[in-house]
Amino acid sequence: MMERRTEHATHTVFNQPPPLEDYNVFAVDRPLTEALRREGADWAEERARAFGEIAGRRETIAWGFQANENRPVLRTHDRAGNRIDEVEFHPSWHSLLSLAIEHGLHALPWIEPRPGAHVARAALFNSLAQTEAGVGCPLSMTYSAVPALRQEPEVAAEWEPRVHRGALFGMAMTEKQGGSDVRANTTRAVPLSESDYEITGHKWFCSAPMCDAFLVLAQAQGGLTCFLLPRRLPDDTRNRFHIQRLKDKLGNRSNASSEIELRSAWARRIGEEGRGVPTILEMVMHTRLDCVIGSAASMRQGTAQAIHYAGHRRTFGRTLAGHSLMRNVLADLAIESEAATSAMMRLARAYDGDEGPFQRLATAILKYWTCKRAPVHAAEALECLGGNGYVEEWPMARLYREAPLNSIWEGSGNIQCLDVLRAMAKTPESVEAFLEEVGQARGGDDRLDLYAARLMEDLRRIDEAEARRIVERLALALQASLLVRHAPQAVADAFCATRLAGDWGRAFGTLPSGTDFAAILERHGPSGP
């Protein structure tokens, strides 16, 4: 008689970290909560805390996955052959967008114009972007359209109340033959009256084409001009706004980005003829702020996911976070994230007050540097999850694909650097304001003092070929100044020891051995204090 073999379980699951969900995205982010109070929006803390709980719910996180798995679908015609130009979204997309509008992410500073309103919105926008960044595009463009609309008071009087009620704005500037060189645009505008025009042309990128209205650039008799172009005409019929196709993008998949044609589409002029670029730059400045916020959110989420995973996953008899080399990597990711968050919130405060010179230069500097750091940060954070990080069922693959977008959108790296050079040449007071901000940390760290002194010397002799190097150093000086003034000693010391001194420039995880890893990781873990 043969001996019966004992059955062994072949699929007992263990040593797999639980998903990071049902947590308060805002409340556990100490650098963000501290910055909210510090930068003048303490009045919004309870609101941000309540929204952070919603953003971290399992259901909300699931909406993000669903919106990306069920991508937008273009319907150019109905079944009878009538042109409809509609994009269908999964219900999860509408749930996320409705949540954001309900909490004012599309227009909070315009609905509640009070000190700290831009800072409060930055914190809310940051929390949602950690859950799903795809809905950020229409929210950002709507928020940013209002300053441009205000250059035409009659138009603003009509459209601002609509924005308050949830109307959404898009933007259509670039064309395939020009890209960032918008003055090469060939779209034409023919006047119908003093303020009304018909626009004919082709736009290579138009994000969120289901928005209610768009700011568009077109060539008028007086030169490149900005226009408001609604999807529907005043009599509620369709405008001649035709969606040709949706872009098949690397990331940002839940959001519809499109190629459009305008065929004698009705539009209203915003600003003077020939002043299209300065007019729409009022919008672009605010969307660039949102690029910084979104990239800071990416780094925070990557840090949270990496620390969470490493705190649960066991290897070689201990958790991943128990290995000194992994602790170095996690702490390095954390200080990069905190530097981005602190700078992002300081920049948002500049939009609240009378800080035009600082805002002008700091926006371009931080748009360049923060957005440049997000992709490398996402790659390292993903690696902390190993093979699981590379699988679509986990959040890191989506975060990795999303990370390059903010560096491209609203002017890629070289455009930002050229903008910095332009600001330094045309508005020297912006340099003075920026260096004054950095100088507020003078005496707090010898490495920063030396770095700032050398930077001031180098600013006297720069050319275009050195622009990236100079912009990087300006960004690091600002981040270091903020950390020296406001962050715990462990964070500020680690940042200055690597970013300002030593041989930094290598991969994450090269902090000096004397770094207080425990203090940094305790501060940045997603389980909260």
- Helix or strand (DSSP H, E) at 457: helix 446-458
User: Which of 334, 342, 374 lies closest to 484, judged by CA?
Assistant: 342
Average pLDDT of the residues in 460-479: 94
pLDDT at 505: 73
Residue 440 has pLDDT above 70, yes or no: yes
Tokens of 179: 């890209």
Dihedral sign, Cα of residue 92, residue 94, residue 97, residue 100: negative
Average pLDDT of the residues in 503-511: 86
Spacing of C-alpha 328 from chain mean position: 27
Residue 495 has pLDDT above 70, yes or no: yes
Average pLDDT of the residues in 300-307: 98
pLDDT at 4: 55
Rounded to 10 deg, the angle between the 356-384 and 467-486 helix axes is: 90
Average pLDDT of the residues in 275-292: 94
Residue 221 has pLDDT above 90, yes or no: yes
With bands split at pLDDT 50, 70 and 90, how would you rate the model's confidence at 6? low
Residue 436 CB-half CA count within 13 A: 11
**8 A C-beta contact, residue 103 and residue 124:** yes
With bands split at pLDDT 50, 70 and 90, how would you rate the model's confidence at 337? very high
Q: How many helices (H) and strands (E) does the chain have?
A: 19, 11
Say how many C-beta atoms besides its own lie within 10 A of residue 245's C-beta: 10
User: Which of 384, 381, 246 lies closest to 321, judged by CA?
Assistant: 384
pLDDT at 462: 84
User: pTM of the prediction?
Assistant: 0.96
**8 A C-beta contact, residue 403 and residue 374:** yes
**Nearest-angstrom CA–CA distance, 244 and 260:** 5
**Nearest-angstrom CA–CA distance, 111 and 455:** 41
Residue 463 has pLDDT above 90, yes or no: no
User: For 80-123, what is each residue's pLDDT tens digit?
Assistant: 999 999 999 999 999 999 999 999 999 999 999 999 999 999 99
Residue 11, judged by CB atoms within 10 A of its CB (0-12, 13-18, 19+), counts as exposed
Beta-bridged to residue 169, according to DSSP, are 213
Residue 529 has pLDDT above 60, yes or no: no
pLDDT at 527: 83
**Nearest-angstrom CA–CA distance, 382 and 207:** 28
Rg (CA), the chain: 24
Residue 489 has pLDDT above 60, yes or no: yes
pLDDT at 177: 82
| Geometric angle at alpha carbon 467, from 461 and 471, rounded to 5° | 100
pLDDT at 5: 55
* 394-to-304, 326, 390, 400 alpha-carbon distances in Å: 13, 20, 8, 11
Q: Which residues of 388-406 are buried (b: 16+ CB within 10 A; e: fewer)?
A: bbeeeebbbbbbbbbbbbb
User: For 168-215, what is each residue's pLDDT tens digit?
Assistant: 999 998 898 877 788 888 999 999 999 999 999 999 999 899 999 999
Tokens of 517: 């890893």
User: For 338-373, what is each residue's pLDDT tens digit?
Assistant: 999 999 999 999 999 889 999 999 999 999 999 999
User: For 144-176, what is each residue's pLDDT tens digit?
Assistant: 999 999 999 999 999 999 999 999 999 998 898
**Nearest-angstrom CA–CA distance, 106 and 94:** 14
> What one-letter code names the amino acid at 358?
F
% of the chain with per-residue pLDDT over 70 = 98
With bands split at pLDDT 50, 70 and 90, how would you rate the model's confidence at 3? low
Length of the chain: 529
pLDDT at 2: 52
Beta-bridged to residue 267, according to DSSP, are 197
pLDDT at 50: 98
Say how many C-beta atoms besides its own lie within 10 A of residue 78's C-beta: 10
Residue 300 has pLDDT above 60, yes or no: yes
Residue 35 has pLDDT above 80, yes or no: yes
* 112-to-105, 106, 348, 429 alpha-carbon distances in Å: 12, 12, 15, 30
Residue 284 has pLDDT above 80, yes or no: yes
Beta-bridged to residue 202, according to DSSP, are 261
Tokens of 393: 């069922």
> What one-letter code names the amino acid at 333?
L
**Nearest-angstrom CA–CA distance, 20 and 236:** 45
Name all domains of the chain by residue range, CATH numbers in brackets. Answer: 30-164 (no CATH), 169-275 (2.40.110.20), 279-524 (1.20.140.10)
In whole numbers, what is the pLDDT of the chain averaged over residues? 95
The alpha-helical segments, DSSP class H, found in 103-209 are 108-111, 117-131, 136-149, 153-164
Q: Where are the beta strands (DSSP E) in 168-221?
A: 169-172, 188-191, 196-207, 213-220
Residue 490 has pLDDT above 60, yes or no: yes
